[in-house]
Structure 1
C-alpha cells in the first residue's frame, strides 16, 4: 500500500532567456564585435580582434554554464513517514535530506525587512537549506506550503 503524498514539489531555476533569445543576443554581440574589429584593424591594432573574439567565446561559455545549471532540479517530497529532498541533474540524483516527518521543522532566515533569505529543514541540530533557486517572495510562499504539508502529513 502506497502512503499518500502531501507535497511533491519540483524547484527549477528560472532562466529568462530562451534558446532563440540566446541566438539573437549572441548574433548581436558577434556583429558588434566584428564591426569593432574592423575599426581597430583599420587603425592598425591587429591584436584587438583576437580579444574581441575571446569576448564572444566568454559570453558563449557563460551562457552554456547558465543553461547547464538550469537543468539541476530540487525535489521536495513530504509523506506521513518522511520528508525527503533530492537534488537531480540529467545524470545523477542525490538525496540531500531525509528525516521523519514527525520531527522535521521548517526554519526561515529572515532579515529586519522581513525578506526571506533561506528556507531550512531542521531536526536534532542538523539542517539543510532548500529552495535557493526561488525569489524571496516565492521562498516565503514555499515555506508556508511546506509547513502546511508537514502539518497535514503528521495529522494524516
Structure 2
C-alpha cells in the first residue's frame, strides 16, 4: 500500500509458554515418565515404558504444532483508499480481504453484552478479524478499527 496508513495492526496469537518453559515442562514430563517406566519395568510390564515414551513424544509434537501456529499473524491495514486483511506466515503472505474504505463497515456480534465476533463487511460479504484476541481486546480493537475507518473516510473528502 502506498497511501498513508490510518491503521496497521498486527494480531498474533497469545502463547503463555516460553521456549525455556517448554524445555522445563518437557524435562519434568520426561523425568516423571522415566520414574514410572522404572517402576513398571520392575513389575515386569515391559511394554509400558514404550507407551510412556510415546506419551512424551505426543506432548512434544503438540507443543511444536502450537508454536508453529503462533507464527501465523493477521495484519489489518486501513488507508483512505481501502481496508485490507492479510494473513502472514513465515513462508507467505495472503490478502484475504480488500474493500474500499468508503463502503466497508465493522460488524459486531454481541452475545450477553460481550463481543464474541468482529467482522469487516461489504455488500453482504464479511470476513472475521481479530479472532486471536480475547473479548475485551477484541472490543478495544473494534473501537480502534472503527476510528481508523472514520478518519480514513474523512481524509478522502
TM range (shorter): over 0.9
- 3-state DSSP of counterpart to 1:16: coil
| Superposition deviation, residue 150 in structure 1 | 0.2
Structure 1 stretches of at least 4 aligned residues deviating more than 3 Å after TM superposition: none
- Inter-partner Cα distance in structure 2 for 1:155 and 1:3: 14
Shift of residue 115 of structure 1? 1.5
Q: CA deviation at 1:3?
A: 2.3
Which residue of 2 is the match for residue 140 of structure 1? 139
Q: Give matches, 1:46-65, under 5 Å.
A: 46-65=46-65
Q: What is the CA-CA distance between 1:109 and the residue it aligns to?
A: 1.1
Give the aligned partner of residue 66 of structure 2: 66
Q: Distance in 2 between matches of 1:64 and 1:109?
A: 33
SS of equivalent residue, structure 2 residue 5: coil
The superposition leaves residues 63-91 of structure 1 with CA deviations (integer Å, 9 ceiling, x where unpaired) of 00000000000000000000000000000
What is the CA–CA distance in structure 1 between the aligned matches of 2:98 and 2:3, rounded to whole Å?
16
Match of 2:127 in 1: 128
CA distance in 2, matches of 1:109, 1:45: 54
TM-score under structure 1 normalisation?
0.97
What is the TM-score normalised by the length of structure 2?
0.97
Q: Secondary structure at the match of 2:91?
A: coil
CA distance in 2, matches of 1:115, 1:39: 50
